[in-house]
Amino acid sequence: MKTLTTSQKEKIKKAAELLVNSKHSIILTGAGISTESGIPDFRGEDGIWDKYKPEIYGDIESFLRDPSKFWKMAREIAPTLFDAEPNPGHYALAELEKMRIIKAIITQNVDELHQKAGAVIVYEVHGNINRFSCLGCRASYTKEQVLNKLKKGRKSAPLCNYCGAPLKPSVVLFGEDLPKFEKYMSIDLAKKTDIMLIAGSSLTVAPICDLPVYTLSGGGKLIIVNDQPTHLDDKAEIVLNHKTGIILPLIVEEIKKIKIERESELSI
């Protein structure tokens, strides 16, 4: 495992100070925070889009023309996705919410791992893989019902019991609109926040990649934790190119130390 440099340790302390002094900090997460739970990301090393072209496997027009392509990719990823458990990065962010350090987690992820780790104020701007509906009659199906359909070994898309149309998970594909409430709430939070911590995102997909720019133009600051550089690194207050599962718990540890020091000063 990559060890921390002195500079990274200093940056972790600085990030903790920024967060503990912030009035309404928020978190933006991407697929990178879930790779340590075994779920592949999209553009990192061995990312999903290396194997499956997004314009064929991740696009709504392509899905409507031939849903079996999306479902071929989904069959491969679904077991990992459905069985995944939160990792220390998810638990660290849930703890920041419990400590009232952050106002919300805006996530591009559909794996529900933030909620499984105990966070509740989570805005899923790209939907959620645990809900499915029929493209024909809008009947809705649970993950278990869809998994049973997939197990029946059909190569094509799982079909609706009633009208026979293909099912689609409630995830946002390229070419689809984002859920309105989550989208506009995220933009409002991004404009108002004084600190946005970004964890595990390449910041390449609009409109969510614009959120940090709203924060900057509102005078807010960015903390970026990502194991690859992003195009906003030069505008960030702090950049930590390391694993979220390592860095985020260390930031929480530093915040706890600061809070204990402050409480002991007050009690003198």
Is the CB of 156 or the CB of 228 nearer to ligand APR? 228
Residues that bind ligand APR (rule: CB under 6 A) add up to a total of 25
Q: Is 126 a residue of the active site?
A: yes
Strands (E), the chain: 25-29, 102-107, 122-124, 127-134, 140-142, 167-171, 195-199, 221-225, 238-240
Site string for ligand APR, 72-111 (x = CB under 6 A): ------------------------------------x---
Is the CB of 189 or the CB of 199 nearer to ligand APR? 199
Q: What part of residues 152-211 is at the interface with ligand APR (CB under 6 A)?
A: 200-202, 204-205
SS3 track for 11-79: HHHHHHHHHHHCCCEEEEECHHHHHHHCCCCCCCCCCHHHHCCHHHHCEHHHHHHCHHHHHHHHHHHHH
Rg (CA), the chain: 20
Give min distance, CB of 268 to ligand APR, in A.
40
Contact criterion met (CB below 8 Å) for 111 and 34: yes
Is the CB of 42 or the CB of 71 nearer to ligand APR? 42
Give min distance, CB of 33 to ligand APR, in A.
7
Return residues touching ligand APR (CB under 6 A). 30-32, 35-36, 41-44, 47, 54, 58, 108, 126, 200-202, 204-205, 226-228, 243-245
